[in-house]
Every structure is written in C-alpha cells, then in structure tokens.
Amino acid sequence: MAAKQSVRLLLGASLATLLCWAPVAGSSSDDGCKDQMKKEEAIPGELLIRFEDNISAVEIDRVNARLGVEVINRMAGGKLVHIRVPSGQSLETLADVYRSTPGVRYVEVNVRYRIDEPKTDGEVDSPKIQN
C-alpha cells in the first residue's frame, strides 16, 4: 500500500508540473498556473533521499540502518528512498546528516501536491479540425 501511495505522490507531482506547462486554450502558457498547482504542507517526518547511481543497495541499506530510519519505499531502481524519521529525531538534522553523507545526490522533504481545476471566464471553445 505504501508503495502505491509513494508512486502516486511522485507521479502526481510530475503530472502537476506537466499540466502547469501545458497552455490552456485562450490563455498564455502560465495564466493561472500558480493558482492551479498548490504545494501542500510537508508530510511530517518524511524525507526523500536520492543516492548516486554508483552507490550499491548494500551501501544504501547500511547508511539507512546506521541512521535508524524506517524505509517506506524504494524507487528509481532503489536509488530514491522514501524514509520516515524516527520519533525524537529532528527532520532538519537528519536531512543535514544525509546531505553530508558521500554518495547522496540530494535530500528533499516529502510534500503532497494538489491540482485545482483551471479557472476560466466561461466556456472554452474546443479546437476545430480542418481538412
């Protein structure tokens, strides 16, 4: 179940970005884009850690075990790890520890995105196909 939620989260963020770039008929490419894609609050106690491609699964497991984190999901061939910060530990401190660990490409707080329906001033004409 957690794997499906994580994949949905990542796909949702990617889809939000793509939809934001796609122009809406009758508007410029970025009209209302900021209103359509709203970043929600960070999910408490969760981080996404992307390891370099040359880091083995064994090394990744070793780092996560040393830091005592719960691995929620692995994506991108195991190089992107979704973790839960142990209770009593600071998310910011743990993120800094990961950032200073050799082989870590980046660390991000896990967030949810919501896409609102585009706002229009009435009906939008559908494109007409001409032969």
Name the residue ranges covered by the structural domains of the chain. Answer: 2-115
Asked whether the beta carbons of 105 and 30 are under 8 A apart, the reply is no
Question: What tokens does 44 get?
Answer: 């408490």
Tokens of 8: 């949905």
Placement of tokens 């660390």 in the chain:
107
Q: Please give the pLDDT value at position 34.
A: 52
CB 87 within 8 A of CB 73: no
Q: Which residue has the tokens 């520890």?
A: 97
Which CATH fold would you assign to the domain 2-115?
Alpha-Beta Plaits (3.30.70)
Query: Rounded mean pLDDT of 92-109?
Result: 96
Q: What is the pLDDT of residue 50?
A: 97
Measured distance CA(126)–CA(131) in Å, rounded: 16
Tell me: the pLDDT tens digits for 4-25? 444 444 444 444 444 444 444 4
Amino acid, res. 82: H
d(CA 40, CA 42): 6
pLDDT in tens, 107-117: 999 988 777 66
Element (H, E) at 15: helix 2-21
Q: How many CA atoms lie within 13 A of 13 on its CB side?
A: 10
pLDDT in tens, 30-70: 444 555 556 567 789 999 999 999 999 999 999 999 999 99
- Give the pair of three-digit tokens for residue 46: 């969760």
**pLDDT for residue 104:** 97
